[in-house]
Homo-oligomer: A and B are copies of this chain.
């Protein structure tokens, strides 16, 4: 048995705080040098509680580090045309360095069309095909925020990835698939032997038990149980499902994909939910916004 006291929390909040302090310093330096201050815009459509929470956390992070921010909120009845026109305006607006359109969008709006309309040079969420293609080729561009945040978390906590067996569970376009590509690239963090598992995977337990680094991005609470984890593994939990919790005033709590009590007894490192991957995603978005300026030589 592994000694439980050996398990270490991969504290995304603390790591993200450190990044925010660095970014705040960078902003101060830019001000001193008379350079442009990074400016992030966010579009939100409708009043979904989760989306509002995420977007307001992004605006808050901007404020904390001294970035400028603009929040554009539309009613859920907004037409696709109005939204597309706003994207065009933001693409052309030189004061805006990067912007995001918070997903999901209402059914009458084509998410793909919206994603493709964003200027890749301002696509700080890293969802545009050009940025994904650049990621595959290891060229400069924007990495999707959650996968990039996980890489940063591993790096800043000195977790060696070279030659490790890594299993990513879940193949979404914004987390699982890009993360599997990033961790397999010839880079640091990277150079893992990555297996991408998904809903069609037959022998999931066996595959997960081979992982030195196990990452779950499925969105099902308690999906990863103790018997799926190798002793000493590094476990990253990307899940953030809201489950009802009558004991809390707001009526819900966030749950990850990982059955924490069981898994934390076996692994060497584990991210908590909340306070693990979530804060790192926001930190990545801030890094990308500064990068948007730098890539344009500003």
Extra pairs beyond A137-B173, A193-B197 (19, CB < 8 Å): A112-B139, A129-B130, A129-B132, A129-B136, A129-B137, A129-B141, A132-B133, A133-B134, A136-B173, A136-B177, A163-B201, A163-B202, A171-B184, A180-B196, A193-B198, A193-B202, A193-B207, A194-B196, A195-B195
Q: Interface 1/0s, chain A 171-191, versus B by CB < 8 A?
A: 101000110110011100001
The verdict on A15 contacting chain B, using a C-beta distance below 8 Å, is no
Shortest Cβ distance from residue A139 to the other chain B in the assembled complex, whole angstroms:
7
Which chain B positions have C-beta within 8 A of A51? none
Contact residues in B for A171 (Cβ distance below 8 Å) = 184-186
Minimum CB–CB distance from A264 to chain B (whole Å) comes to: 26
B residues near A185, Cβ cutoff 8 Å: 171
Q: How many copies does the complex hold?
A: 2
Q: How far is the CB of A234 from chain B (nearest CB, A)?
A: 16
18 contacts between A and B (CB under 8 A): A129-B129, A129-B130, A129-B132, A129-B133, A129-B134, A130-B130, A132-B133, A136-B136, A136-B181, A163-B201, A171-B184, A171-B186, A181-B181, A184-B198, A186-B198, A193-B203, A193-B207, A194-B195
* Chain B residues closer than 8 Å to A186, beta-carbon distance: 171, 198, 200
Kindly list the 8 A-B residue pairs having the minimum CB-CB distance in the complex, ordered from nearest. A129-B133, A133-B133, A132-B133, A191-B200, A195-B195, A193-B201, A163-B202, A132-B136
Check if A162 is an interface residue, CB within 8 A of chain B. yes
Please pick, from B134, B137, B162, B196, the residue contacting A200 in the complex, using a CB distance under 8 A. Answer: B162
Q: Note all chain B residues with C-beta closer than 8 A to A281.
A: none
- Alpha-carbon distance A160/B178, docked complex (angstroms): 25
A128 in the interface (beta carbon within 8 A): yes
Give A195 to B194 CA distance when docked, in angstroms: 6
Q: Find residues 139-179 in chain A having any chain B CB closer than 8 Å to their own CB.
A: 139, 141, 162-163, 165, 171, 173, 177-178
Interchain CB contact under 8 A, B196 and A193? yes
Given contacts A197-B193, A202-B193, contact A133 B128 (CB under 8 A): yes
Bound: A103/B191 CA distance, A: 26
Give the contacts of A198-214 with B (CB-CB under 8 A).
198, 200-203, 207
What residues on B are CB-neighbors of A196 within 8 Å? 180, 184, 193-194
Chain B residue contacts of A202, Cβ below 8 A? 163, 165, 193
> Chain B's nearest CB lies how many Å from the CB of A111?
11
| Distance from A160 Cβ to chain B, minimum over Cβ atoms (Å) | 12
What's the Cα separation between A195 and B162 when bound, in Å?
15
